[in-house]
Amino acid sequence: MIPDTLVKVLDEDSRENLESLGNQHVIDQLQTFVRLCKPARVIVFGVVQTDVDRIRGLALETGEERPLKMEGHTIHFDGYNDLARDTGSTKVLTPPGMTLSKKINTIGRAEGLKEILGLMDSCMRGKAMLVKFYSLGPTNSRFSLCAMQVTDSAYVSHSEDLLYRQGFEQFRKLNGGMDFFTFLHSAGELDERKVTKNYGNRRIYIDVTDGKVYSVNNQYAGNSVGLKKLALRLAIYKANHEDWLAEHMLLMGVHPPGKERVTYFAGAYPSACGKTSTAMIPGQSIVGDDIAYLRKDKEGYCRGVNIEQGIFGIIQDVNPIDDPLIYKSLTTPRELIFSNVLVSDGVPYWLGMGRSDIPEKGTNYSGEWFKGKKDKDGNEIPFAHGNARYTMRLSELENVDPRYNDPIGVVVEGIFYGGRDSDTNVPISEALSWEHGVYLGATLESETTTAIIGKTGVRRQDPMANMDFVVVPLSTYLTNHIKFGKKLKQKPRVYATNYFLRHEGKYTNTKLDKKIWVLWAEGRVKGDYEAIKTPIGLIPQYNDLRQLFKGVFKRDYTEEEYIQQFSIRIAKYLEKIGRMEQLYKEEPNMPREFWDVLSQQKRDLQELKVRTGKDSLPPIAFV
């Protein structure tokens, strides 16, 4: 039954939609949120297409988005101080007795709720509360979870309509149950540019024990779009208390040239480390580029689904040479949201797009922009932000995999882990075992980029590219990975990739070379290639790579390039092991398998260093 306090802010369609759900838990939550946020009205959206169309219209009507010259394209600007994930203001609410890893940002549950609910008191006064229902994953799937988003931002709702599957019917199938996630968000007070004013009071608090996230005084999608990284945190908590994995991973189909087969891979890369560009390699197919749920099927294989149906991608360096499929999608008519790029005469411009005719004035995330404009600290403001984004549906892409919406998922036969590493890891290596693969994921590092607020270029430990999102102790998270693999009849092979290795200040490979590393990994899964065993894993043989480069790119791959890229940098790997010992030494209940792999690798590398007197050895030393 809908209480009077809620009825009076609902229009007739919203009331009918809410009644048709038949879920008192939803009604009770909305009543609480209305009392807290005090909106002028509440719109509860259903499943019909007119509801989806209405959201985009509201985003334009409120000024959170503006139309661009190309049909279907809109622009959204986040505030100048709200342009990336705010890890400092994002905290997990911990009840008494819950202890998480030191790297995880936490606050006591009672204290955190008091603070966030105080900030959200009357936060929607004079605005509309928008209520939408989504499915995290394909509908009618054992993988999928229900999610309710409550927000006062039409931009957030529009983004979610592009990124996620409509879930109104999935909620009906709950039959009044409460097995769903809830996300309450408010952009807070907006200025004349329709961007958040009170960013100093930005908070994103995750209540894992109650399945809720509270987010206020922000608009950047990584902080505001509940179903993305905020839902990932709730799913990780749920998965680690059950028997599956919720991961910050792409899913892609790899199609080796000349062979009638497709092999599916998952892959974890921190932001701006090549995840989307890997999923979009020409000739391959994309299932998803960001978040995957992995489960064991009845036959004992690992299956994965993309919980999203769209892409919220970093746009910097997307150009017609390196990313032709994405670039084509961004420059042709379709429903698409740009954020934090330069707009001049209704046309968007972004960093690294491959054009020389960038206008010298226009509008960007700083307001009216002109070449040479400086911020309050005297730093020149670039025409577009390094973390500028695009949001679009996967179905708009020419290379979308035909099974991207399959409720049973795809069989995952390989997993990539890749960071931004200038001096240590080879471009690709294969784990010696599943446990070694978990170690590779656990020891993933990346040099920071503009996707996260703070200094860039700092080496940051990022286990499974998931450090910001893990809401259980790291030891629990890693143990769950090891247990998951042990249950599988066929374990995926695991690969460490590195697209950012440098030599004398220059990258040792081109952006396109990742295609070769991916095809080699696919060939290894199918038994096409032998490999060289080293202490850090299995690496490619030169002749196999030479033939791949010649066949795919019609390019001569020299032995000099091979040695430069695949030499084992003993001293650097030992330094990395030292950093991992520091990271995990105080982590209680770490799985024994992790320390076994680390100790074995350390012994092997130290023995090599003593025996050879070398800090680096070429691949031939291991043949």
Domains, in order of start, for the chain? 4-239 (3.40.449.10), 246-309+404-622 (3.90.228.20), 313-395 (2.170.8.10)
Structure tokens at 412: 């995952």
Active site members: 273
pLDDT at 49: 83
- Each residue's pLDDT tens digit, 43-81: 999 988 888 899 999 999 999 999 999 999 999 999 999
pLDDT of residue 449: 53
C-beta of residue 229 within 8 angstroms of C-beta of residue 469 = yes
The total number of residues shown for the chain amounts to 623
DSSP 311-352: EEEE-TT--TTT-HHHHHHHTSSSSEEEESSEEETTEEE-TT
Measuring CA to CA, which residue among 277, 239, 216, 204 is closest to residue 466? 239
Torsion of CA 42, 48, 51, 57, to 10 degrees: 180
* Percentage, residues of the chain above pLDDT 90: 91
30: number of Cβ within 10 Å: 25
What is residue 541's predicted lDDT score, i.e. its pLDDT?
Answer: 98
Using alpha carbons only, what angle is made at residue 41 by residues 35 and 47, rounded to the nearest 5 degrees? 110
Phi, psi of 442 (to 5 degrees): -70, -25
| Structure tokens that stand for 535 in this block | 């202490």
Mean pLDDT of the chain: 95
pLDDT digits (tens, 9 = 90+) for 526-550: 999 999 999 999 999 999 999 999 9
Q: Strand, helix or coil at 287?
A: strand
Q: Which residue reads 């038949």 in tokens? A: 22
pLDDT of residue 459: 86
Query: What is the model's pLDDT at position 364?
Result: 98
pLDDT of residue 252: 98
Torsion of CA 473, 135, 158, 49, to 10 degrees: 180
Whether 266 has a pLDDT exceeding 60, the answer reads: yes
Query: Model pTM?
Result: 0.94
Interval 342-372: pLDDT, tens: 999 999 999 999 999 999 999 999 999 999 9
Nearest of 294, 241, 293 to residue 473 by alpha carbon: 241
Q: Is residue 563 very low, low, confident or very high in pLDDT (cuts 50, 70, 90)?
A: very high
**What pLDDT is attached to residue 455?**
56
Quickly list DSSP for 33-86. HHHHH--SEEEE--SSHHHHHHHHHHHHHHTSSEE-SSTTEEEE---TT-SSB-
pLDDT tens digit string along 386-443?
Answer: 999 999 999 999 999 999 999 999 999 999 999 999 999 999 999 999 999 999 999 9
